[in-house]
Amino acid sequence: MKQLYKLIFPLAALVLLVQCHSGGQPFSLKADAFAAKLEQTPGAILLDVRTPAEFGSGSIKDAQNIDFNAKEFKTRIAALDKSKPYFVFCLSGGRSKDAADYMRQNGFGAVYEMKGGLLAWKDSNRTLNGETSSRDKLPMSDYKKLISGDTSVLVDFYAPWCGPCRKMEPMLHDVARENKGNVSLVRVNIDENKQLAMELGIREIPVLKIYKRGEEMWTHNGLVEKAALLEALSKVK
């Protein structure tokens, strides 16, 4: 019986640990829940883990900026008070999830992350403090023109800070080059086209879409292998 208890107890602890770090656990919150929890939490500290340039274009009121991709990220995080509650966000949720995971793994007890990031925040009709008004480089009207031709159009929604986006970029150019005349590649930087991303429901990146004559034929979130992408393109008539 004792041996069975010794086996079950570590297993139960492992299950609890996995649950605490899964996407469905209470530390990962949608925009509305994130805002409500932030308001209800005394001494809450907001961390915007985007780049300084992104932060300068507008952020949530009272947020501090610690760039997740900067060399000094770990040093700056180590200097924070681990006993306080932290609310972490970025543009689409990827960097903030990684930052929050790192903080929890390094002794921070209460770290909340916002699912969907500022794209979801703005989609819920909330504003940003100090937001600068700027027009998308690619408005929806021009986007529709790009995808309306007879040739298949492969659209890559990316950002310069996105690791998976950078990893996939050479493969996408190879596919476009190898299928020249049949496939055209359009890369859309969501940092420069926030309104377009919101209108198209882009809440995370990378996102790939294939269009033919303006009709969306295929979409994929996250990394994709070259073989899978070529297969998807071969099915578009």
Q: Tens digit of pLDDT for each residue in 84-97? A: 999 999 988 989 99
Residue 14 φ/ψ, nearest 5 degrees: -65, -40
Q: Is 90 a catalytic residue?
A: no
Question: Would the pLDDT of 193 be above 60?
Answer: yes
Of the candidates 66, 119, 165, 190, the residue annotated as catalytic is: 165
Cα separation, 199 vs 33, whole angstroms: 22
What per-residue string of b and e applies to 148-162 under the rule 16 or more CB within 10 Å gives b? eeeebbbbbbbbebb
Inter-helix orientation angle 226-234/163-178, to 10°: 50
- Bridge partner list, 93: none
Catalytic residue status for 165: yes
* pLDDT beyond 90 at 106: yes
**Global pTM?**
0.68
Residues 66, 73 contacting (CB under 8 angstroms): yes
Within 10 angstroms of residue 214's Cβ, the number of other Cβ atoms is 12
Task: Please pick, among 162, 168, 200, 229, the residue that the annotation labels catalytic.
Answer: 162
